Amino acid sequence: MVLVGDHKHDGDSEVVVDYNGNPADKSRTGGWLAAGLILGTEFAERVCVMGISMNLVTYLVGYLHLSSSKSATIVTNFMGTLNLLGLFGGFVADAKLGRYLTVAIFASIAAMGVALLTLATSLPSMRPPSCNPRSPGSHCISADGKQLAMLYAALYIIALGGGGIKSNVSGFGSDQFDPSNPKEEKAMIFFFNRFYFCISMGSLFAVTVLVYVQDDVGRGWGYGISAATMMIGVLVLLAGTRLYRYRSPQGSPLTIVWRVVFLAYKKRKLPHPSQPSFLNGFQTAQIPYTPMFRCLDKAAIIDDFAAKDENRYNPWIVSTMTEVEEVKMVLKLFPIWSTCILFWTVYSQMTTFTIEQATFMNRKVGSFVIPAGSFSVFLFISILLFTSLNERVFVPIARRLTHNVQGLTSLQRVGVGLVSAIAAMIAAAIVEMQRREHAVRGIKLSAFWLVPQYFFVGAGEGFAYVGQLEFFIREAPEKMKSMSTGFFLSSLAMGFFVSSLLVSIVDRSSHDTWIKNNLNTGKLDYFYWLLAGLVALDFIIFLVFAMKHQYKLQTHIEKMEINDEKELQSWEKGNGVA
């Protein structure tokens, strides 16, 4: 039995095969049944990750007696690592294992991590003595290194498993449909819609049912359900082994990036050739030459050693100009990538301090007390609402106003997301200021006042998530499309890490007066105002980069529309092409 990997069909490295490694019989493999089983694995991953991240801060503060700032840092570092490991998971799948084995292995790792977390939160020896850290004059004993070690081990095992799933499950699902078949191509479009629906339903289940079980029944039960769900997800994935279509790994595009950078550094002392046409593969390059990042051109210099017949085609000795230009295109994305980070820094507050705010507010509806983590349901409702409105209302209106088929461009969507993030932090600061003033008078403000900040962040994600993902996929080189998802996930990861960094800086510079365990004696609203200001500054920088950015498709069309040789030369000169 051959699952993936080493099988290569003669003359076609892209051939779709069955689990035995033979060309797939498309009447018996793939399609909705196979894709549905894959969606089950994604549902399980979403239940686990959101069920942990959206309520973890209350466990760290209330049971392990850690400070609010340290608890927030633990949560954001966990989420940042999970998203960053998406790059590693994508690399492993592309380079060696293929998507099926990668998802199966990493889903199993995630299941083991959640099982370990269940033990870490169930064993009494893994928690310090019970105490209320928010009562005046209390001196609670915080969890020691041994108690935290098991928790950290569990969280980062989950992060490793979740990263491997996140970066490959959507691609493996789309592999079950043949884009050359009109019927299956249409089904693939519906698959991505259902994939997003599956993510949303898993998140809603996690922040309602699981958070309630964690708070009112027990953490062990809540995380135990997550562990069981993940194990069932693995079994469901394995059950479809004979039904799936597989694609052999083609090698990671990250290898091309590292190779070009390595060769450019190795040949850094060589002089540039007098004409770019002397560079390796210039005449047959699939991408027009650009003078930006000219230092990378040295990777394609044919020196005496590279000129030998046996070396000229060795990619570790000399790169082609197509490879060099592909790397330049990736580097061209970094300015936009960097300005997307702060949106996810704002988003991370919804999993940390916003939930902390809820614990100090009135959460009663009649006799029922809503768990603090369950208020995240308003975030996901807002995401679903604005994702639907985006395609049904906003895009059609934009098409009529701009006469552009696309309606809103990917960068315009990102811009709307950043503006929403600013509004969210302004709302959060105002609500926190009012909450603290009421708390001083002994009045608990209703936790439903948190809905506006959830609403703005959810609306922002409805625009920014789609805009960023579309931008990275459309603007990346054709051969590096599989890396685009990992590149996008890395901006999420950096957003969470920047949140951790900001909390540490604020703690030190304010001498622990802004963020306290007892938010009634702190100044959390100052932190929210700081974030609003930073995102506003980031938005201005984003506008500068966005106005300078020229879409890849637009550049291609401009060049194709020029027929006169003199006009072509003028165009190339104006666009910096030698």
Residues 473-501 pLDDT 10s: 777 776 666 567 777 888 989 999 999 99
pLDDT of residue 69: 85
Please state which of the ranges 263-267, 295-299, 392-396 shows the lowest mean pLDDT. Answer: 392-396
pLDDT value at 189 more than 50 = yes
Which residues on neighbouring strands pair with residue 365, listed in sequence order? 368
Residues 367 and 467 sit within 8 Å (Cβ to Cβ): no
pLDDT of residue 367: 83
pLDDT value at 161 more than 80 = yes
Q: Above pLDDT 70, what percent of the chain?
A: 89
pLDDT value at 372 more than 80 = yes
Question: How many degrees, rounded to 5, is the angle at CA 110 between CA 107 and CA 115?
Answer: 130
Question: What average pLDDT is seen over the chain?
Answer: 83
Please state which of the ranges 14-18, 150-154, 244-248, 456-460 shows the lowest mean pLDDT. Answer: 14-18
The domain 334-549 belongs to what CATH superfamily? Answer: MFS general substrate transporter like domains (1.20.1250.20)
pLDDT of residue 389: 79
Residue 486 token pair: 């990992």
Please state which of the ranges 77-91, 210-224, 309-323, 549-563 shows the lowest mean pLDDT. Answer: 549-563
Look at 484 and 576; give whichever has higher pLDDT: 484
Question: Across residues 113-122, what is the average pLDDT?
Answer: 92
Question: Across residues 531-548, what is the average pLDDT?
Answer: 94
Residues 351 and 79 sit within 8 Å (Cβ to Cβ): yes
Location of each CATH 1.20.1250.20 domain in the chain? 17-251, 334-549
Q: What is the SS3 string spanning 265-281?
A: HHCCCCCCCCCHHHCCC
- Given pLDDT bands bounded at 50, 70 and 90, which one contains residue 559? very low
pLDDT of residue 566: 46
Question: Across residues 137-163, what is the average pLDDT?
Answer: 88
pTM confidence score:
0.80
Secondary structure element (H or E) that encloses residue 296, with its range:
none
pLDDT value at 25 more than 50 = yes
Distance, in Å, from the CA atom of 358 to the CA atom of 347, rounded to the nearest integer, reads: 16
Distance, in Å, from the CA atom of 449 to the CA atom of 358, rounded to the nearest integer, reads: 9
3-state secondary structure of 365: strand
pLDDT value at 558 more than 60 = no
Distance, in Å, from the CA atom of 376 to the CA atom of 487, rounded to the nearest integer, reads: 26
Look at 65 and 15; give whichever has higher pLDDT: 65
pLDDT of residue 476: 75
Question: Across residues 116-140, what is the average pLDDT?
Answer: 80
CATH code for the domain defined by 17-251: 1.20.1250.20
Type of residue found at 71: S
Look at 162 and 305; give whichever has higher pLDDT: 162
Residue 306 neighbours by CB distance under 10 Å: 18
- Given pLDDT bands bounded at 50, 70 and 90, which one contains residue 420? very high
- Given pLDDT bands bounded at 50, 70 and 90, which one contains residue 5? very low
pLDDT value at 272 more than 60 = yes
